[in-house]
Copies of this chain bind each other. A is one copy, B any other.
């Protein structure tokens, strides 16, 4: 069975959208990635850190999904990383109300022995040095290393970010971040520059529009499923990454054709994530629902033109 190693935050989120607000609920990049990847037939592990305040029920939820939590550090007397934010009406912009690093401030990831030979490594958004440390601990070069990052690290840890981009296969970022990273407005030009930095494949998420996949002269676009209501976008990017890497870890086929499919699987799972607050929609998501939505994606995009 394919092995997927995930590093990223496991956290508390408090979210406000135009449709409502939550108290502290389960969040974090690794959480969303792990839940999405659990839709596939893979052996996955999360490397992360939480405090003593992290509820057993959340740990049980992740364990029941088959996620190995032996590298999830629980710090005695520590408090779990906490983020709270409020989305504006268009749901595209959000204001961070509070970020409490807590136990994340001193986090040193330790790759478990039995995951040092993983097929796919998913580096969730964290300090690039932390991400690099995970790569350095691998016994063998994984078939695929996927990086998620954000503008904050471009502003504050440029050199460390460049180093990690030099060691990965795929980067997933949004359009604004791709423009900042490359200093190019055109996403085609941006993707070229980012490939020159070292990432063989570039996935640019154009928010509610979809995701573009670039590799050399090839380009593929997966639209986001047009939804009547987007309830809470939190975790959509991480869910995309989880579907993307989960599918590739299961199929262990790194052809462009199959990476296209991974983008479709990522988009499909992300379309569920935004329907409820936090991880709510992902917790009990069934294979049948996912398959139905994959059929909708096919309807949404497939056409048959005869060329004359």
Contact = CB atoms under 8 A, between A and B. Distances in A.
Chain copies in the assembled complex: 2
A212 interface: yes
Contact of A227 (B188, B257, B295, B307): B188
Contacts of A73: none
Interface string A157-200: 00000000000000000000000000001111100000000000
A226 B264 CA distance: 18
A31 to B, nearest CB: 25
A276 B128 CA distance: 41
Contacts of A105: none
Contacts of A219: 226, 299-300
A301 interface: yes
Contact of A307 (B90, B188, B220, B294): B294
A84 interface: no
Nearest to A223: B221
Given A299-B218, A300-B219, A300-B221, A186 B305 contact: no
A43 interface: no
Nearest to A295: B307
A60 B159 CA distance: 59
A90 B185 contact: yes
A210 interface: yes
Contact of A226 (B212, B298, B301): B212
A155 interface: no
Contacts of A228: 186, 188-189
Contacts of A226: 187-188, 212, 219, 221
A203 B110 CA distance: 51
Contacts of A294: 305, 307
A261 B305 contact: yes
Contacts of A302: 301-302
